[in-house]
Amino acid sequence: MSFEALGDLSGILKELAARSDVSIIILASANEKYFVSHADLDDLEQVASGKPVAGERSAWRTTPALIEAIPQPVIAAVNGQAWGGGTELALACSVRVAAPAATFGLPEISVGMVPGAGGAQRLSRLIGTGRALELILSGRKVSAEEAFRMGLVNAILPNRNFRQAVMDWAQQFARHDFDALVANKRAVTEGARLDFEAGLDLERSLVIPRTASPRSAELRTLLMKRYAAASPDDEIDF
């Protein structure tokens, strides 16, 4: 993943962010062996030596930040290798799913480097400081199964028709009201950066407009009708 490619990705994301007909964005690779193998090492060497590179040098910071900031939830669909910059890009996404053969890792320490695209910050917030330090200080790779057990990955989906499996899995989110998806993503991602009381204030600022919206009122009415028609043993589908 080069600086230039990250800039291209940012351009696509900005276009999608402006569309209210796009509920969920899935970030996937056309190559079944690689999600993103790692950052473009030639780019990094050019920067280290003070030479110019194609694209913006800040892209490894701004593009993951954009993934977090755009209204829609973003799913990282990881098939194959996602090391270094690949794991960092996946960490910026709202949730992550993996094919069984996917592998993750932040091996920068092995070449005397430090994760430079938010990996140390996002990984520790996702799986805890101790586990993050163990992975970063060892530089070891983890399988999809281990990544799932530690909370790095939300689900492992079949290799066969992996992309379609991701699309099907994403329907649990995409079926909900667009504005509600956006508000709930904000509540979690922005709230995670705030202290607890400020997070509660953010929640309240999001709850009141949603509660007052005609769409929310319509959905609540439909839900109450389902409750009224259900027997005590029925499971209500939200």
Query: Catalytic positions, please?
Result: 88, 108
Look at the block and give the residue holding tokens 């799986």. 127
CA distance 159 to 95: 18
Instruction: Give me the DSSP letters along 78-119.
Output: E-SEEETHHHHHHHHSSEEEE-TT-EEE-GGGGGT----SSH
Among the listed residues 8, 1, 77, 76, the one whose alpha carbon sits nearest the alpha carbon of residue 36: 1
Rounded to the nearest 10°, the torsion over CA 88, 91, 92, 97 is: 120
Structure tokens at 197: 């009381």
Pairing mode, if any, of strands 103-105 and 142-143? antiparallel
